[in-house]
Amino acid sequence: MCGITGVMQFQDGVRVEPETLRQMCDAMVHRGPDDEGIYTAGSVGIGMRRLSIVDLATGHQPLSNEDGTVWIVFNGEIYNHTSLREKLQSLGHQYRTHSDTETIIHLYEEYGPDCVQHLRGMFAFAIWDQRRQRLFIARDRLGIKPLYYQLTSQRIILGSEIKVILAFPGSGPGFDRAALPEYLAFGYLS
């Protein structure tokens, strides 16, 4: 079990501080006691707590592509990453690790958001694309790996647990009255 977090500020000049991401990662230290990593670039930051299972030596995250313009934090397992890796290497992608995380980032470089169509497994991830100034977040179709987010006019905050979002300064729980009828009718929110 690992955990991811991230923030993207929408207001000009508002930066994501590394200490804020560390606080958010600290809220989920139980999800990944082996390693922590953060990446910030102005108004965007992503972070990760890791339980080392695959690629113990070089699986540190956040992980970037070859030129450092695309960054990822990932929680999960991609079952078909070996066959995807072979295809991506034949297209010219160079791997630095043996992790399935790196396969996702190269898939994103090839297919953009459609990269998820190629993945078989359980996953939640956030990709920061510096070139396009895009934060792309995704989770597996069944939601096996959790991914929560809070979207406001000022920012998006994401995390593997709700308490990670609540660890963001000034973020607090709220009640969405408009969602109540759906919850009472179906027992969950989509």
Q: Distance from first CA to last CA of the chain, Å, rounded? A: 24
Comparing CA positions, the residue from 70, 65, 72 lying closest to residue 48 is: 72
For residues 3 and 48, is the Cβ–Cβ distance under 8 A? Answer: yes
CA distance 109 to 104: 9
The reply to whether 2 belongs to the active site is yes
Rg (CA), the chain: 17
Question: What tokens were used for 75?
Answer: 């929680």
List 1, 2, 167, 179, catalytic entry:
2
- The token duo for 81 is 């990453």
- Residues with catalytic annotation? 2
